[in-house]
Amino acid sequence: MMYPVLYSFRRCPYAMRARMAIRLCGISYEHREILLREKPQTMLDVSPKGTVPVLVTEEGKVIDESLDVMLWAIEKSGHKLAKTIDASMPWIHKNDTFFKRNLDRFKYPNRYEDEGETSQVRDEAYKQAGVFLAELEDAINVNNGYILSEQPSVADFAIFPFVRQFSKVDEDLWVSNSYPKVREWLDIFLGKEAFSDIMTKQVVWSPENNPLIIQF
């Protein structure tokens, strides 16, 4: 039996949201865990840009954008999340551009020394990221638990891995910040069985290994 193949890296938020969608949609697949510093040639052959996730469908189609992997899984399975796609897109776009830009500078300020002193870059990034987090706080509060409504949407599943990464940069600062609804929201996702499933540590893939089939 042929399975879709997913090249992934456990801690990458892009790969995380792709795995989460696949898990929620109950799609079995072959998992290929990689090291970012040692990307396998088989992955680079199908997606030269060299970022994860990379999905190769049973038909041989290559999908190498995380949101597209999410949408593929939802369409393939007919999951009810499909009805939240359109309303989710503005939130996902802002996360993937504005918030991600500031997340990177908050976590790795030394990479942006051309933009100012390390401490200044970090502080400004934290401040700007807070603009997005404040918007999340308001949305989650108004909609009784999630971004769009009382039920999780594509936006929730696409965004929480990035908020998770942000929360881990300075956990004391995260706990003391003024976004209690966002913290509660994040904790809901981190406590899900599905999240535990997708965060299982896997051995690094090698062509010599037997295929690792993840079945739901």
Find where tokens 């009805």 sit. Answer: 83
In DSSP terms, 213 is beta-bridged to 30
3 state DSSP class of 62: strand
The CATH number of the domain where 46 resides is what? Answer: 3.40.30.10
- Do 27 and 43 lie in one domain? The reply is yes
- Do 167 and 206 lie in one domain? The reply is no
Contact 85, 154 (CB under 8 A): yes
pLDDT at 149 over 80: yes
Mean per-residue pLDDT, 145-168: 99
- Do 205 and 185 lie in one domain? The reply is no
Question: Which two tokens mark 116?
Answer: 């100012």
Q: What is the pLDDT of residues 43-55, one digit of tens each?
A: 999 999 999 999 9
Per the structure, the count of domains in the chain is: 2
Residue 66 belongs to what domain range?
A: 5-80+195-214
84 phi/psi in degrees, rounded to 5: -100, 0
Sheet of strand 62-63, all strands in order from the earlier edge strand to the far edge: 62-63, 54-56, 5-8, 29-33, 213-214
- Do 134 and 179 lie in one domain? The reply is yes
101 phi/psi in degrees, rounded to 5: -60, -45
- Do 73 and 93 lie in one domain? The reply is no
Chain centre to alpha carbon of residue 1: 28
Q: What per-residue confidence (pLDDT) applies to 100?
A: 99
- Do 88 and 186 lie in one domain? The reply is yes
Q: What is the pLDDT of residues 79-138, one digit of tens each?
A: 999 999 999 999 999 999 999 999 999 999 999 999 999 999 999 999 999 999 999 999
Q: Which residues of 41-59 are buried (b: 16+ CB within 10 A; e: fewer)?
A: eebeebbeeebbbbbbbee
**Confidence (pTM):** 0.97
Q: What per-residue confidence (pLDDT) applies to 178?
A: 86
User: Which residues, in sequence order, are CB contacts of 33 under 8 Å at separation 6+?
Assistant: 8, 9, 10, 202, 203, 204, 205, 212
Four-residue CA torsion sign, 172, 189, 199, 153: negative
Quick one: pLDDT band at residue 170, thresholds 50, 70, 90?
very high
Q: What per-residue confidence (pLDDT) applies to 6?
A: 99
Quick one: pLDDT band at residue 1, thresholds 50, 70, 90?
confident
Q: What per-residue confidence (pLDDT) applies to 176?
A: 92
- Do 170 and 121 lie in one domain? The reply is yes
Alpha-carbon distance 182 to 145, whole Å?
9
Mean pLDDT over each residue of the chain, to the nearest integer: 97
